[in-house]
Amino acid sequence: MGYIYISLSAFFFCLMTVFVKIAGQELETVQIVFTRGIITLLFTLVIIKSKKVYLWGENHKILILRGIIGTIALFFVYESIQRFPLPEATVIQYLYPIFTALLASFFISEHVGNQLYFAIILGFVGIYTILGFPFINPESSPNTINLIIAIIGAFLTGFAYVLVRMASNMKESPYVIMFYFPLFTVPLSFPFAYDLWIFPSINNWVVLFLIGVCTQLGQTFLTFGYKLLPASKAAPTSYIQIPFSALAGAVIFYENISYNFILGSIVIFFAIFLIIKNRKQSEHSFLD
C-alpha cells in the first residue's frame, strides 16, 4: 500500500506542475505562489484543528527558517517550470536529494563520504547531458539565468528538507511543520503579488485552485507513504514523477523527449541511488 501512496503522491505533484505551467502562461509566478499559499494554509489549518495539535510548535527559529526558505525555494521552482520544458524542470528539481544529503552533513552531522561527492558530480553530469552538452554544442546552450534559477530552486528545496528533518528530530508535529510553510508564503509573497497582480479569468481561478488541491493531495499521500515505507524505499519510488512529467510534457505541451533527456535522467537516477545506498549503510553501521 505504501508504494501506491507514493505513486499517487508523484502523480498529484506532476499534475501540480502541469497546472503551474498552464497558469504561468497568463499569470506571474509570485501570484501563483501567493494563491497556492492561501489554499494550503486553509487546508492545513483545518487538518491541525481536526487533529487538535498545538498550532505554534516549540522550536520557533527552525520553524520560521523552514517557512522562509521553503517559500523562496517554491518561487524558484515554479519559475523554472515556466522557463524549461516540464520534464527538464522536473529532473533538475530532483537534484534536491543530493543537496539535502550534502547540507545534512554540515547542519546535522549526518555521515558523508566519497560516495556522496561522486554522486554530486554525477548529478551535475546528468544535468549537463539533459541540456544537450552546452558549451561543447553551442546550439544547445541554455540561458544561464534560467539554469541558475532551476539549480537554486533544487538547492533551497534540499535546504528546506534538512530544516524539516531538524524540526522532526526536535519532536515537532509534521502538521505544525507543514503549517509554517504557507504561514510565511502568504505574507512574503503578498507585496510582490499585489504589485504584479493580474486578475485571473474564471479558468485561471480553477487552475489556481487545482494547484492548491494537487499540492495538498500530493503532500498527504507522501506523508502516508513515508509512514508505511522506509525512506530508502519511498524516495526512489517518488522518482516516478519524472516519467509522469515527460508524458505530460509530450501530451499536453507537445514537448519532445530527447535521447539526451533519457540518458541524463539515468545518470541522475544512479546518483540518487548512490545517495540512498550511502544513507542505508550509514544507518546500519550506526545500529551495529
The predicted pLDDT at position 143 comes to: 76
Instruction: For 14-49, write each residue's pLDDT tens digit.
Output: 999 999 999 999 999 999 999 999 999 999 999 899
Instruction: For 53-94, write each residue's pLDDT tens digit.
Output: 888 989 999 999 999 999 999 999 999 999 998 988 888 888
User: Which residue range(s) make up the domain with 128?
Assistant: 2-287
Dist. CA 132–CA 119, nearest whole Å: 20
Dist. CA 43–CA 281, nearest whole Å: 38
**Count of structural domains within the chain:** 1
Dist. CA 178–CA 45, nearest whole Å: 10
Output the 3-class SS for 100-154.
HHHHHHHHCCCCCCHHHHHHHHHHHHHHHHHCCCCCCCHHHCCCHHHHHHHHHHH
Question: The whole model's pTM is what?
Answer: 0.85
